Chain A
Amino acid sequence: MSTEEENQTVFDVAAASMLTKELRDVFASGKTRSYEWRISQLKSMIKMCEEHEEDIVDALHQDLSKPKLESIVYEITMLKNSCALAIKELKQWMMPEKAKTSLLTFPSSAEIVSEPLGVVLIISAWNYPFLLSLDPLVGAISAGNTMVLKPSELSPATSSLLAKLLPEYLDVSSIKVVEGAVSETSALLEQKWDKIFYTGNGRVGRIVMAAAAKHLTPVVLELGGKSPVVVDSGIDLQIATRRIIIGKWGCNNGQACISPDYIITTKDCADKLVDSLKKELETFYGENPLESKDISRIVSSNHFSRLTKLLDDDKVSGKIVYGGERDEANLKIAPTILLDVPRDSLIMKEEIFGPLLPILIVSKIEDSWDVINSGTKPLAAYLFTNNKKLKEQFVMSVSAGGVTINDIAMHLAIHTLPFGGVGESGTGSYHGIFSFDAFSHKKAVLYRSFMGDAALRYPPYTLGKIRLMKALMTSNLWTILRALLGLS
């Protein structure tokens, strides 16, 4: 019955269909809707993280050579925090929200009730394979759904660890893990889901949304883009540089959706910035970064080739000012900086998702906005400056999922801020209560009584009724009075 547990059995459309039917039946039983069930799952998830921290760190190291600190901080601790927040706030989130009513519907009372959407599909990514699988799960569980998690096959150690641990710690009848690649994902996408939550790239995002369209399934697409960093003069360059480095190479070696993709700065700043970057990079990763244990490797040979192609592009030859070394056997590329790359080079055309950092030069810093807006809307945009006016211009003119000023990526750690993209970088958002909302339907409820029935609602229609209706709809007491008295 549980085909996903047997590796040899093919998970095809029939299996996917059976699986969703099973989950639908469980959902219909009402099991996942109780507060107790939701809390128990969230608590179990925290227990799982604590009891298997080493296993998780090992799996992440196997998949990405991810440094232990990054695994613990960016994957495990962030997930635990997410669970803890949900546990703390769930009662509040689950409560109906009172809604105001107006004279138009008097007497009445109204509220908005959150209810689970039903059976949801979560498709995760390979770069933060633990966090990006389980954080959406926290949202789906908090909202009371049943779900299927499809971890990325490009991070196989984490995928099989999740397939092993989730049934041990969570309610296996309501939360299923399906491992696999394109064919298993396609089989899942043919089913009717009540919501699909996808983290990944725009190409597959389109496939997911088109599949969802067949069943009118709403989607959240957490995609990516080229997140720019605008660096102004007159700032503490050392601090800015360190923050850029930790946000770029310190986050899965640039393989993160909110990684700084490229820098825009003026000619004067550029040279100083490059010097500062070189200095700090050496402090962090030593003289031979390829040997450093503090940087993740490139996830696969496909991505390795993709990235080296960007470096070998004619248009950027001679632009490498730091790094560029590669170790194909170990899938490592050293932190690399390119200065003054042409806007039409390969490296400026697509999301880099790797340890290469191009720097674009503009004549004045305000030109940055046009540069950024000439591309598709990114998931994140960053600005380092002390100039208040520049900050305002940045916030008003640059459209992105989210922006951080004078730091990198921190906005995603703030659970009161929605995390998601816009345009090519995605649709929908999550984190904190936004996760709960992403997997809920907000049902409008209106309570009326039998009093207060105005004849003017009903046919036969007369001109007098129009007058009264107009008055009522403008909710202007004086006009209503006049209409009632037949005076207007």
Chain B
Amino acid sequence: MIEFVQDNEERIFQALDQDVGKHPVEAYRDEVGVVAKSAKLSLSCVEKWMAPRKGDLPLVFFPASAQVMPEPFGVVLIMGSWNFPISLSLDPLIAAISAGNAVVLKPSELSPTCSSFLAENIPKYLDSKSIKVIEGGIDVCEQLLQQKWDKIFFTGSQRVGRIVMTAAAQHLTPVTLELGGKSPAIMDSSSNPTNMKVIAKRIVGAKWGSCSGQACIAIDYLLVEERFASDLIDLLAKTIKQFYGQNPIESKSLCKIVNKNNFKRLLDLLKDPLVEASVVYGGSVDEEKMYIEPTILLNPPLDSQIMTEEIFGPLLPIITLDDIYESIDFISSRPKPLAIYAFTRDEKFKKQILSRTSSGSVTFNDTLLQFLCDSLPFGGVGQSGFGRYHGKYSFDTFSHEKAILQRGFFPELEPRYPPWNSFKLHFIKLAYAFNYIGLILLLLGLKK
């Protein structure tokens, strides 16, 4: 796998450029680099991960030994996504392999160049008897989902997530669903102007700097107090120009929209007149090249589609509040997102965000980096999915933890067996309560 990405780096860059207009820097950072890093980590840790873990045993079970041993599930199905078509296919694949499974990988058909690149080249580098790549669209997915798998790992939308889990239910197949949601960013007033510049860069980077907003952990919308809104918008506008120049659509650093369906979907979000009226920056599109300019909206109606569905594109609504603490109720009254980003130095506020909202993850004062931290589980909760991976969690997600207890034939405890009487009952009660002194007294006839 490591050789695969190293040998084919240029070709992967080209495929990603073709499918989503991804610049090599993004392509390395979010795709090639992620896969290489993941493979290297697994390589160095897999022996440790595969080793059985000892379990503590209460004295009453002596002599015995208890262990938990991970074993592969068997034959697993991985369904990749189109926005990070290389890493979201190969990272789970690395996990499945580390855990010792046979795998079918079904890359997304919405990123066809990457899909056929994987189908053609994976067999050249990996064991093609145990690891298969199957290309195709909905009909192929349907056929695959009818089979009995020992595990299904799905990255994608909630709608398809339901279909996958329903199909899995027929065979009692366990699933991991990496879905999405509306990941909010909160910004309070506790930052000085220098920090504000950094915050603006991080927000812009997290919205448009990762597949042009088409990422599960991209900032979906922003919450800020009314009095800071216009300064923030100015700062964001300046930062966007800094990153993408005067004409972002010409910038090679911005991804395009993946296909016509999504392009239309995003334009439709802007069609609502009240939403259209709330656009304060950007808004222009290039239908032929399928680019949408980084666009900022101020207070579109909360019941409009742009505020009720995951945007997954380069449109950033800013919702203003009287008091930033209101953001907590705002977020917790909505479906649980995959990520929450909070820019604040108020320790009390941080604690409230942690305890009163629920999300896959929370990142303070930055964006997206939780994805790179291998010791943090990456996954959703509620509508944003369940199950997790990255680091050792990847190995675990494709393993069954088998409990193993070994006993000997000596000593033998008579009270375990019928016919029952009150002595035996008393004995067992004490044993279960780990009341060793009581047991000794009972055996010595000193306890009644």
Contacts and interface: CB of A to CB of B under 8 A. Distances in A.
A459 B207 CA distance: 12
Contacts of A306: none
Contact of A406 (B354, B409, B419, B429): B409
Contact of B174 (A101, A105, A427, A465): A427
Interface in A369-420: 386, 391, 395, 399-407, 410-411, 413-414, 416-419
B83 interface: no
Contacts of B254: 459
7 contacts: A81-B433, A212-B169, A417-B405, A443-B361, A444-B360, A446-B369, A446-B370
A466 interface: yes
Interface in B412-434: 412, 416-420, 424-425, 428-429, 432-433
Given A395-B69, A403-B404, A459-B254, A466 B409 contact: no
A359 B90 CA distance: 46
A458 B209 contact: yes
B362 interface: yes
Which of A102, A209, A470: most chain B Cβ within 10 A? A209
Given A69-B424, A213-B166, A460-B253, A410 B403 contact: no
Nearest to A399: B71
Given A414-B55, A446-B361, 18 more contacts: A67-B420, A73-B429, A77-B433, A100-B375, A210-B170, A214-B166, A216-B158, A216-B165, A245-B417, A285-B419, A414-B57, A441-B358, A444-B377, A453-B201, A460-B243, A466-B24, A470-B33, A473-B36
B71 A210 contact: no
Contacts of A463: 24
Interface stretch (B124-132, B261-269, B316-324, B380-388): B380-388
Contacts of B360: 443-444
Interface string A90-126: 0000000001111011001010110101100000000
Nearest to A240: B409
B364 interface: yes
A78 B432 contact: yes
A402 B403 contact: yes
Interface string A454-488: 00011111110110011001100000000000000
A426 B202 CA distance: 43
A417 B55 contact: yes
A158 B388 CA distance: 38
A102 B24 contact: no
Contact of B169 (A209, A245, A413, A417): A209
B365 A448 contact: yes
Main secondary structure of the interface of A (DSSP, over half): mixed
Nearest to A238: B412
| 3 closest residue pairs by CB, A with B | A402-B403, A461-B25, A213-B165
Contacts of A426: 172
B85 interface: no
A221 B403 CA distance: 17
A466 B418 CA distance: 73
B418 A221 contact: no
A457 B205 contact: yes
Nearest to B54: A416
Interface string B144-175: 00000010000000100110011011101010
Contacts of A414: 55, 57-58, 61, 66, 403, 405
Nearest to B56: A416
A456 B61 CA distance: 58
Interface in B200-220: 201-202, 204-205, 209
Which of B74, B168, B407, B418: most chain A Cβ within 10 A? B418
Interface of A: 28, 30, 33, 67-69, 72-73, 77-78, 80-81, 99-102, 104-105, 108, 110, 112-113, 115, 117-118, 194, 202, 205-206, 209-210, 212-214, 216, 218, 221, 223, 235-236, 239-240, 242-243, 245-246, 250, 284-286, 292, 294, 386, 391, 395, 399-407, 410-411, 413-414, 416-419, 422-424, 426-429, 441-450, 453, 457-463, 465-466, 469-470, 473-474
Contacts of B166: 210, 213-214
Main secondary structure of the interface of B (DSSP, over half): mixed
A191 B375 CA distance: 35
B400 interface: yes
B172 A202 contact: yes
Contacts of B417: 242, 245-246, 250, 284
Nearest to A217: B386
Contacts of B388: 442
B276 to A, nearest CB: 27
Nearest to A98: B375
Given A68-B425, A101-B373, A450-B365, A470 B251 contact: no
A443 to B, nearest CB: 6
Which of A236, A286, A466: most chain B Cβ within 10 A? A466
Contacts of B366: 108, 446, 448
Interface string B330-367: 00100000000000000000000011101111111110
A461 B404 contact: no
Contacts of B362: 443-446
Contacts of B174: 427-428
A405 B406 contact: yes
Contacts of A449: 365
Nearest to A425: B172
B68 interface: yes
Nearest to B245: A460
Contacts of B418: 246, 250, 284-285, 292, 294
Given A214-B166, A417-B66, A453-B201, A473 B33 contact: yes
